[in-house]
Structure 1
Amino acid sequence: MATEPGINMEAKIDARENPFEPYLDALKKVLEDQDPIFMIGIVVSLAVVVITVVFLKYLLSRKTVQSAVLLVGLCDSGKTLLFSRLLSGKFKKTQTSITDSSAPYKAKNERGSSWILIDLPGHDSLRPQYVEKFKSAARAMVFVVDSAIFQKEVRDVAEFLYFLLTDSVVSRNVPSLIVACNKQDITMAKSAKLIRQQLEKEMNTLRVTRSAALSAQDGSAGASVHLGKKGKDFEFSQLPMKVEFLECSARGSKGEDGEADIASLEKSLALL
Structure 2
Amino acid sequence: MEADSVRDPGTMEEKADLEMAENPFEQYIESVRQELENQDPIFIIGIIVALAVVVITFVFLKYFLSSKTVRSAVLLVGLCDAGKTLLFSRLLSGKFKRTQTSITDSSAPYRAKSDRGSTWTLIDLPGHDSLRPQYMEKFKSAARAIVFVVDSAIFQKEVRDVAEFLYFLLTDPVIIRNAPALLLACNKQDITMAKSAKLIQQQLEKELNTLRVTRSAALSSQDGSVGGSVYLGKKGKDFEFSQLPMKVEFLECSARGSKGEEGNADIDSLEKSLAKL
Count of residues in Structure 1 that have an aligned counterpart in Structure 2: 238
Question: Which residue in the other structure is 1:160 paired with?
Answer: 165
1:177-216 correspondence to structure 2 within 5 Å: 177-216=182-221
Using the size of structure 2 for normalisation, the TM-score is: 0.79
The alpha carbon displacement at 1:19 in A equals: 6.4
Question: Which residue in the other structure is 1:106 paired with?
Answer: 111
For the 8 Å contact 1:214–1:223, the answer to whether it is kept is no
Distance, in Å, in 2 between the alignment partners of 1:240 and 1:156 is: 23
Unaligned runs of 5+ in 2: 1-5, 33-56
Distance, in Å, in 1 between the alignment partners of 2:225 and 2:172 is: 18
Q: 2:107 aligns to what SS in structure 1?
A: strand
Q: CA 1:148–1:109 in structure 2 vs 1: closer, same or farther (change >3 Å)?
A: same
Question: Which residue in the other structure is 1:238 paired with?
Answer: 243
Stretch deviating more after TM superposition (214-223 or 177-186): 214-223
The alpha carbon displacement at 1:180 in A equals: 0.1
For the 8 Å contact 2:173–2:228, the answer to whether it is kept is no
1:86 pairs with one of 75, 83, 91: 91
The alpha carbon displacement at 1:26 in A equals: 8.6
1:1-272 correspondence to structure 2 within 5 Å: 20-23=25-28, 58=65, 65-221=70-226, 223-272=228-277
Q: Hey, which bits of structure 1, 4+ residues long, moved more than 6 A?
A: none
Distance, in Å, in 2 between the alignment partners of 1:203 and 1:256 is: 35
Q: Which has the larger Rg?
A: 2
Distance, in Å, in 2 between the alignment partners of 1:259 and 1:224 is: 41
Q: 1:131 aligns to what SS in structure 2?
A: helix
For the 8 Å contact 2:82–2:151, the answer to whether it is kept is yes
Equivalent residue letter for 2:74: V
Encode CA deviations 1:141-163: one digit per residue, 9 max, x unaligned.
00000000000000000000000
Distance, in Å, in 2 between the alignment partners of 1:212 and 1:70 is: 31
The alpha carbon displacement at 1:214 in A equals: 1.2
Equivalent residue letter for 2:236: G
Encode CA deviations 1:21-71: one digit per residue, 9 max, x unaligned.
4245899xxxxxxxxxxxxxxxxxxxxxx99xx79x95x975x52010000
Q: 2:221 aligns to what SS in structure 1?
A: helix
Equivalent residue letter for 2:185: A
Distance, in Å, in 2 between the alignment partners of 1:259 and 1:25 is: 80
Using the size of structure 1 for normalisation, the TM-score is: 0.80
The alpha carbon displacement at 1:213 in A equals: 1.1
Q: 1:218 aligns to what SS in structure 2?
A: coil
For the 8 Å contact 1:212–1:221, the answer to whether it is kept is no
CA root-mean-square deviation:
3.0
Q: 2:215 aligns to what SS in structure 1?
A: helix
Q: 1:139 aligns to what SS in structure 2?
A: strand
Q: 1:217 aligns to what SS in structure 2?
A: coil
Equivalent residue letter for 2:110: Y
